Amino acid sequence: MTEPGATVGEPLTWEFQGVLTPRDKEEEDYKYLQFRLPPGYGLIEVSYEYSGGSKSVVDIGILDPEGTFRGWSGSDKPGFSISVSKATPGYVAGEIKPGSWTIILGLAKIAAGGCSYRVLVKAWKHGEYLWGERGVEESVAPQAARKTAVAKGWIKGDLHVHSHHSDGKHGVRELVDKALRLGLDYIAVTDHSTNSQFYDIVRIKDPPVLLIPGVEITTYHGHMSVWGWSWFDFRRRRLEDFVKLVDEVHEKALIISVDHPRDLGELCIGCDFEFKQLRGFDAVEVWNGPWFVKNWEPLAWWHSLLSEGLRVTAVGGSDYHGGEDSFVRLSEPTTWIRVDSPTVENVISSIKHGRVFISQSPSGPLLQLKAYSDSRVFETGDIVDVNHGEELKIIVEAQGGEGATLRLITSQGVEETIRVNGKAFKHVKKLRVKQGYMFARAELGWYADPCSVNLGEDDTVFALTNPVYLKV
């Protein structure tokens, strides 16, 4: 763990051992281990192990004596280190304060027969060799002027990306380089439950793509993403905890999205959002990774929310973790956001207001929807005041997707299906608005039953828009 000559003197050592049971998990998602650190220490090293094989998963993180969050690595790393100037990715360097430090064990999954654990903590007065520490990477891409420096328009990128600050394989600079090679305008680095990626983001001066800070708040009862420079406590277990979380995010003038609300069973702990009765969130990740990984489930839920009269923005994200053999690729899907200028604040505002569409990849297909009422023009996210029986002109434009089916969908179901017969396609629909019409949105794809809103494994979506909202 520590190389010879890396530290001076002998460390203080604390060892914790015990057994976790399914009953422990039922009662509480976290177990806390405390050790009291005397003054004068500058380096903390923690290693841990647990039994149970694939039937148990125990996560780990740490709080300092003031209760300040200093890092979380889930179950991705067997240990971590924190010193005044350096820390393992996922953890925040800084003052090593005397007092009672707290190790957090996250009881993600506990085997029926129980799970034994062992945690070893060492504190050194001096030292800079750290467990898993990586220096700031040098970019292999040219530091050109930001590609997204446009006056106004659509920018494309990925809202859900992981770095080595949680369980990703790449550093932030490596991700920037990959994004640049794909021609992206932005990426959001949303590591699991930690904020140490923020420090790497600010170290990159004039990045060639817009870097959006974020956190995937990863609980055992659902995942939610927040974009912006704020960390939020991930220790949420009950509905009221998530209600409070939404309020906390909004108090900071940020927005919160429900991530990948679909059931993947044992493949992903907590991926399916448990509290679908929650309201007040701003967005839903309706498309996460390749379409065939049950993305029809979150799309159906989002449609039901719209049909309730809620205004919730659909977003996409690859959930990219790296790895050349992975079927998950950066910016597949791609989220297109209309902004006045490419800043973090403008991206957040545009997502909030529904200025978003999603495509299969950075190359498209492109799909845009507008509504016209008299001389007024409305974009996705806008609210159109219409009278019962009024005729609303809907224009949908597609670039790419030749041979696919374009669908215009309202709260009443599929209004129209059209075969796309060219690389650049434009369709005009005169929609007679009736009582109960709440929105109009568009999809492009291949459908086993083009007239059914409910999709399944035999259907493939290539692109979709957010709605224009109708107020009848």
Dist. CA 339–CA 379, nearest whole Å: 13
Dist. CA 81–CA 86, nearest whole Å: 8
**213 closest CA partner among 196, 189, 194, 195:** 189
Instruction: For the chain, give every residue range classified as CATH 3.20.20.140.
Output: 138-362
255 and 225 Cβ atoms separated by less than 8 Å: no
**467 closest CA partner among 312, 316, 299:** 312
The three-state secondary structure class of 351 is helix
| pLDDT for residue 138 is more than 90 | no
- Cα–Cα distances (Å) from 309 to 85, 182, 288, 468, in that order, read 50, 37, 24, 12
- Write out pLDDT tens, residues 344-354: 999 999 999 99
348 and 194 Cβ atoms separated by less than 8 Å: no
Handedness of CA 337, 157, 303, 279 (dihedral sign): negative
Instruction: For the chain, give every residue range classified as CATH 2.60.120.380.
Output: 12-124
Mean pLDDT throughout 442-463? 97
Instruction: For the chain, give every residue range classified as CATH 2.60.40.10.
Output: 365-472
212: which strand partners?
A: 188
Which of these CATH numbers, 3.20.20.140, 3.20.20.70, 3.50.50.60, 3.30.70.1380, describes 138-362? 3.20.20.140
Q: What pLDDT was estimated at residue 3? A: 36
| pLDDT for residue 152 is more than 70 | no
Q: What pLDDT was estimated at residue 9? A: 74
**46 closest CA partner among 97, 98, 83, 21:** 83
**255 closest CA partner among 354, 339, 174, 172:** 354
pTM: 0.93
User: Taking the domain 365-472, which CATH number applies?
Assistant: 2.60.40.10
Dmax (CA) of the chain = 83
Q: What pLDDT was estimated at residue 8? A: 53
| pLDDT for residue 151 is more than 50 | no
87 and 196 Cβ atoms separated by less than 8 Å: yes
Amino acid symbol at 177: D
**Cβ neighbourhood burial of 471 (10 Å; 0-12, 13-18, 19+):** exposed
Task: Report strand pairing: 405-410 vs 413-419.
Answer: antiparallel
Dist. CA 362–CA 235, nearest whole Å: 35
Percentage above 70 pLDDT, the chain? 93
Dist. CA 94–CA 150, nearest whole Å: 38
| pLDDT for residue 256 is more than 50 | yes
- Write out pLDDT tens, residues 173-219: 999 999 999 999 999 999 999 999 999 999 999 999 999 999 999 99
Q: Indicate the average pLDDT of the chain.
A: 93
Third-level CATH fold of 12-124: Jelly Rolls (2.60.120)
Our CA angle for 172, 173, 176, nearest 5°, is: 90
Dist. CA 12–CA 125, nearest whole Å: 9
Our CA angle for 377, 380, 385, nearest 5°, is: 55
- Write out pLDDT tens, residues 270-293: 999 999 999 999 999 999 999 999
Mean pLDDT throughout 250-259? 98
Dist. CA 184–CA 180, nearest whole Å: 6
| pLDDT for residue 119 is more than 90 | yes
411 and 438 Cβ atoms separated by less than 8 Å: yes
258 and 224 Cβ atoms separated by less than 8 Å: yes
Q: Which residues contact 45 (CB under 8 A, 6 or more apart)?
A: 1, 2, 11, 79, 80, 81, 121, 122, 123, 124, 130, 131
| pLDDT for residue 367 is more than 50 | yes
Mean pLDDT throughout 299-324? 96
51 and 60 Cβ atoms separated by less than 8 Å: no
pLDDT tier for residue 101 given thresholds of 50, 70 and 90? very high
Q: What pLDDT was estimated at residue 128? A: 58
Our CA angle for 366, 367, 368, nearest 5°, is: 125
443 and 461 Cβ atoms separated by less than 8 Å: yes
Dist. CA 34–CA 15, nearest whole Å: 11
Token pair recorded at residue 401: 């997707």
Dist. CA 212–CA 199, nearest whole Å: 12
b/e map 114-137, b = 16+ CB within 10 Å: bbebebbbbbbbebebbbbbeeeb
Mean pLDDT throughout 104-127? 95
Compute φ and ψ for 259, nearest 5 degrees: -90, 140
Handedness of CA 413, 419, 423, 429 (dihedral sign): negative
